[in-house]
A and B are shown apart, each in its own frame.
Chain A
Amino acid sequence: MKMNTSHEREKAFRTLALCAVLFAPTAGMAGDAQDRAADISRGAQTWVNNCARCHNPRDPKEFRDDLWKPITYHMRVRAGLTGQQTRDVLKFLQESN
């Protein structure tokens, strides 16, 4: 489909945005049950697979348990992690420091 006008492009983006809003939670729940308990081994794997996508991995011993929480939630937003991945990584970091 060739988009001739800016109006059509805006319409396409709005449609995409709407699809993302509707699709994201449904697709996620289909692949993974929500609110599973945090798991340290899953967290270690997620930490290995994701942190180095952008930066050198940080040592779990660098921060106290309570400080890791806002850090992992910050990274949830930055890296596009799911809530479950965030809880798993937090568990791993808190158990490893």
Chain B
Amino acid sequence: MQQQMRQLQQQIQNQKQTADEVDTLEEKVAEVEGRQDEWLSDSIVHLAGYGEFNYADREDADGSFGDFLFAPIFHYQYKDLMMLESELEITVNDAGETETALEYLTLDLFLNDYMTLVGGRFLSPIGQFRQNLHPSWINKLPTAPPGFGHDGAAPISETGLQLRGGVPLGRGMFANYAVYVGNGPEILAEAHGEAGETDFEFELDGIEAEGMNADEDGEKVFGGRLGLLPFPGLEIGISGATGKATVTELEHVDIESGFLGGTEEDAEAALSGEPDRDYDVFGVDFAWQWRGLDLRGEYVKSEIGSEAGSVAADGAEWESWYTQAAYKFTPTKLEGVLRYTDFDAPHASSEQEQWMLGLNYLFASNVIAKLAYEFNDGQSGAVTDEDAFRAQLAYGF
């Protein structure tokens, strides 16, 4: 009898211990759940971006490592209403100095399911390369197509307001759109003082379409892009911009000995009172994915109109197009790429026709090693005429 009593007491004690353990466990679960809820706040901070490391060996130069790029992208989001996005580009120049640039900074206000108002300095919606393909972990070759980089035919960025979004059209079709108004670009010119002459000769040198922080001519540029996705895997886009731009800066001043018309300062002074002139951009693009094949192409033309009242009266246009095919050799991690580009510019030294052949190894979808060779055809003696071998390691995070 006494033994049975002891066994019962022991069972009661064990049950009490188990109940205490369950209580403790429940408290711990509640604590962990509470910690998880801490991540689900109204405001979210997120750091994304990409980095790259390059090696280049041009035909008439020694091969060198360089062109490191660290491009952090900051996201600050408040509920489903607002997001701040900003990308920096941190590079090291040939002198070993660090350079930092603000690629874009926007406040995105999500108005409804179909419209987002974007304000600030944003990537140009003209075409696809600049706004969607330029990060090195996305671009399938180590360089941008000629004419789609800085000082090319395609605008880089714009400062202003943009409305963009997507719209379902029914039967599996979608459209996306972007319309914007911005400060527009500024025009670069160059001056040449010839021996024996008394006046500089000016001509247009380039378009500085990189989100100018002021509107020198007071005339806004209007533009946009409309993309149509008739079925999954295919997107066709048309884009354009129009407005005014003004010559504001001299990129080069070349004065020969014996020139009688003044100094570099005199050439720069001649730009005061420059009139605004027509600025127009037109672009079309397409992208098609089918199984392991990625085929895309893009055409863009930027045009500056003639203006009799300007120091550089003649107009100019910059035009470039590329088409690119990439194929993933599944189940391996290899990807082959072939791209053709033809860039026409007012100056022969900038013009370039390029074939680029590349082989990529995808360590992961966002970690890519690239080997590529450029076959370039440009002005004889110019860097645009030199073939080049390039290697790049890119990581998107």
Chain A interface residues toward B at CB < 8 A: 6, 9-10, 13-14, 16-17, 20-21, 24-25, 27-29, 31-32, 34-35, 48-49, 52-59, 62, 64-67, 69-71, 73-74, 76-85
Contact = CB atoms under 8 A, between A and B. Distances in A.
B138 A55 contact: yes
Interface of B: 39-40, 44, 46, 48, 73, 75, 77, 80, 83, 85, 108, 110, 112-116, 118, 128, 131-133, 137-138, 163-170, 174-179, 181, 222-224, 227, 232-233, 235, 240-244, 278, 280, 287, 289, 294, 305, 362, 364-366, 396
Given A69-B77, A82-B167, A28 B46 contact: no
A83 B111 CA distance: 10
A10 B281 CA distance: 12
13 contacts: A17-B163, A17-B179, A20-B224, A21-B179, A48-B232, A54-B133, A56-B365, A58-B365, A64-B39, A66-B44, A70-B44, A74-B85, A78-B131
A69 B75 CA distance: 10
B245 to A, nearest CB: 11
A76 B137 CA distance: 19
A69 to B, nearest CB: 6
Contact of B116 (A13, A29, A66, A76): A76
A6 B138 CA distance: 36
Contacts of A27: 114, 167, 169
A16 B366 CA distance: 38
Nearest to A21: B163
A14 B222 contact: yes
Counting chain B CB atoms within 10 Å of each CB, the highest count among A10, A64, A85 belongs to A10
Contacts, number: 152
Contact of A13 (B73, B168, B240): B240
A6 B176 contact: no
A57 B137 CA distance: 12
A15 to B, nearest CB: 10
A59 B113 contact: no
Contacts of A34: 112-113
Contacts of A21: 115, 163, 179
Contacts of A54: 128, 132-133, 138, 287
A48 B364 CA distance: 17
B248 to A, nearest CB: 19
Contact of B164 (A62, A71, A80): A80
A53 B235 contact: yes
A35 B114 CA distance: 11
Contact of A20 (B44, B75, B179): B179
Given A25-B112, A58-B365, 6 more contacts: A16-B179, A17-B224, A55-B137, A59-B365, A70-B46, A82-B166
7 closest cross-chain pairs (CB), A and B = A80-B176, A83-B113, A56-B365, A28-B114, A13-B222, A49-B232, A17-B179
Nearest to B232: A49
B40 A66 contact: yes
Contacts of A20: 163, 177, 179, 224
Given A6-B243, A53-B289, A66-B40, A17 B108 contact: no
A83 B222 contact: no
Contact of B366 (A58, A64, A82): A58
A76 B166 CA distance: 9
A79 B131 CA distance: 9
Contacts of A32: 168
A28 B167 contact: yes
Contacts of B85: 74, 77
Nearest to B180: A17
B114 A73 contact: no
Contacts of B40: 66
B138 A70 contact: no
A84 B131 CA distance: 22
B224 A16 contact: yes
A86 B170 CA distance: 17
A35 B113 contact: yes
Given A17-B224, A31-B168, A83 B114 contact: yes
A52 B40 CA distance: 29
B6 to A, nearest CB: 52
B165 A31 contact: no
Contacts of B175: 80
B164 A82 contact: no
Given A34-B112, A70-B46, A74-B75, A6 B244 contact: yes
B39 A25 contact: no
Contacts of B362: 56
